[in-house]
Every structure is written in structure tokens, then in C-alpha cells.
Amino acid sequence: STLVATTLLAGSLSAQAITVGFSQVGSESGWRTSFSESVKAEAEKRGITLKFSDAQQKQENQIKAVRSFIAQRVDAIVIAPVVETGWQPVLMEAKRARIPVVIVDRNVSVSDQSLYLTRIAPDFELEGQKAANWLVEKTEGQCNVLELQGTVGSSAAIGRMKGFNDVLKQNPGVKIVRSQTAEFTRAKGKEVMESLLKAEGGGKNVCALWSHNDEMALGAIQAIREAGLKPGEDILVVSVDAVDDALKAIADGSINVSVELSPHLGGPAFDVIEEHRKGKKEFDKWIRMGGAVYTSENAAQELAARQAK
């Protein structure tokens, strides 16, 4: 038993000795906040020292953070990138310093795949497809859609837009009549929706809102109400993330559907880092996370299940 105790102690000490730098996008959405909280909780549970850096939605801040993690000689770096491009130089610096990098959530577009161990993320295109399929079915293929895009240049916006539009190509009666970015935030979601509704003559001929995330959708439903229309009825609301607030809105009828994105990406990222430290060299380049689709049929039940945890 002394041996067991010593081994356990050594195990936890070595885990405690790991320092991981995490460059997070920002705190633009409820989903992002849950994701940050989940990473912090997971690090604490594992005895990992986490250096957390909030980039406030700016890639230049992320690059600075990564350089500072390298200078501090952290054991591993986790990056949730704001946008896809512009990563190659700093990732090469990490590689030269022999610090392994794990990408989570949005993607990086680099020509050298050896610059990171793996990416842990959902399939953004599939999310867009699921959202569009729901809308096509609900409207029997006839609908004028307003789109609120996420951050320009982010994989989440690029992928969701592509997936949604791919389904629309097969269903030409469902059309995006206006589309604009609202940067994934609630305030912009409201503001941009107001102007889109105005541009559409108050919104009487608009059948649905396709929002790249719940946060913007939650802002937009206020704008819909202020325009004298009923969100969820006069204008259908289709979204992504399935955060608790969106499930509540689905239960009360103001959002119709949200495609789930799990915020629990920290655990799998630390698993990869720990396996790498134990000697594993090759990882699949994309560890794919799935997600359910929530509607009035299952949102309340899911919310209760989450609250019971």
C-alpha cells in the first residue's frame, strides 16, 4: 500500500507539474463563457496549472499570448483561434521551442499539419446543414431568410454558412434575402436584426432568421418583438449552440431550433496532451464532437437534465 500511495502521489505530482497555456477567443457568447469555465474546471480537477488568456476577439492578442506562453516555456499550448488564417509563423515558433499545440473549436488554415497535434472540434458545416434541413422541412421549402453571420473569417461562420447554403442549393424556394455579420454577440445581434428588418420593410415577408449562434439569436428576438412581430411564430428562429438560455427560449416558443455545440472541449484537449507526454506521437488530425438538435420536443427535458447534474 505504501507503494500504491507513492505511485499515486508521484502521478498527481507529475500532473501538477504541467503548465498549459490556453489562448481563448474572448467572452463574446454564453457558449464561450461555458467553454472557458469548463476548461478551467477540468484543469483544476487534473492538477494542471492553466495560464488563461482572453484575446477579446482579436487574433493579434492571441499571437502575443502564444509568444508569451513560449517565452514562459509552458508544457503545452491550447488555442481556440478567432480566425483561420495567419497562424503558420507563430505555430512554427512553438514547434521550434518543442511545445506541443492542440487546436480546439475553430480551425487554423496552415500548410504544415505537423504544427499541431490535433484539433478537437465539431463539424461546423454539418451544424449548418442540420439547421437548414430543419427549416426546409418546417416551411415545406418556401421561406425568405435573414442571416446573422458570426465573426468574419472564423471557421464557425464559414462552415455554418457553407453547410446551410449547400442545403439551400437543393431547395431553391428557401432563400437568404439579407445577410450580415453580428460578430457572435447579443448586442450586435439585436442591432443588426433591427436594421435588417427595417431594410425588409418591417419584416412582414420574412419567414425565418438563421443565426450562426444563440447569443445573436437572443438579441435578435428582442428586435423582432420591438418590430411588433412574434419570434418563433411570425419569424422562425434557427440557431446553433443550444446554450441553456436558448433551450429556455425554445421551451417558451421564441426560438424554434438550436443545433448543439458542446462546450466541453477542455477534457479531450488535456487527454491528448497527457497521452502525448506519455509518448503517443500520432493523433487523428480532427477529433470530431457531435451534437444533438433541440426543438420544442426535447429542449425542456434537456434543460432539466442539465440542471440535475
Please give the residue ranges that form the binding site for ligand AHR (CB under 6 A): 28-29, 31-32, 105-106, 156, 184, 213, 215, 240-241, 261
Query: CB of residue 304 vs ligand AHR: minimum separation in angstroms?
Result: 23
Closest approach of Cβ 1 to ligand AHR, in Å? Answer: 47
Nearest-angstrom CA–CA distance, 110 and 294: 34
**Would you state the cell numbers that stand for residue 282, as one nine-digit string?**
500520432
Measured from the CB of residue 73, what is the shortest distance to ligand AHR in angstroms? 29
Question: At residue 261, what is the residue type?
Answer: L
Contact 236, 247 (CB under 8 A): no
Contacts of 302 (CB under 8 A, 6+ apart): 242, 247, 292, 294
With respect to ligand AHR, which residue has the nearer C-beta, 184 or 270?
184
144 vs 149, beta carbon nearer ligand AHR: 149
Q: Would you say 132 or 207 has its CB closer to ligand AHR?
A: 132
Smallest separation (angstroms) from ligand AHR to the CB of 104: 9
CA 147 to CA 211: how far, in whole Å? 6
Phi, psi of 151 (to 5 degrees): -55, 125
Of residues 229 and 249, the one with the C-beta less far from ligand AHR? 249
CA atoms within 13 A on the CB side of 253: 4
Task: Choose between 100 and 128: whose C-beta lies nearer to ligand AHR.
Answer: 128
At closest approach, how far in Å is the CB of 213 from ligand AHR?
A: 4
Query: With contact defined as beta carbons under 8 Å apart, do 294 and 247 qualify?
Result: yes
Contact between 206 and 49 under an 8 Å Cβ cutoff? The reply is: no
Q: How far is the CB of 218 from ligand AHR (least distance, A)?
A: 11
Compute the half-sphere exposure of residue 110: CA atoms within 13 Å on the CB side of its CA: 20
Q: Give me the least distance between CB of 139 and ligand AHR, in Å please.
A: 23
In which order are the strands placed within the sheet that holds 76-79? 49-54, 19-24, 76-79, 101-104, 118-122, 286-289
- 52 vs 75, which CB is nearer to ligand AHR? 52
Contact 236, 139 (CB under 8 A): yes
Please name the amino acid found at residue 123.
D
The answer to whether the beta carbons of residues 52 and 24 sit under 8 Å apart is yes
Output the smallest distance, CB 156 to ligand AHR, in A.
4
Nearest to 129 by CA among 174, 172, 84, 159: 159
Q: Please, which residue, 32 or 46, has the CB nearer to ligand AHR?
A: 32
How many other CB atoms are found less than 10 A from the CB of residue 292? 12
Residue 122 CB, shortest distance to ligand AHR, in Å, is: 8
Place of cell 426535447: 298
Q: Which is nearer to ligand AHR, 193 or 240 (CB)?
A: 240
CB nearer to ligand AHR: give 63 or 240: 240
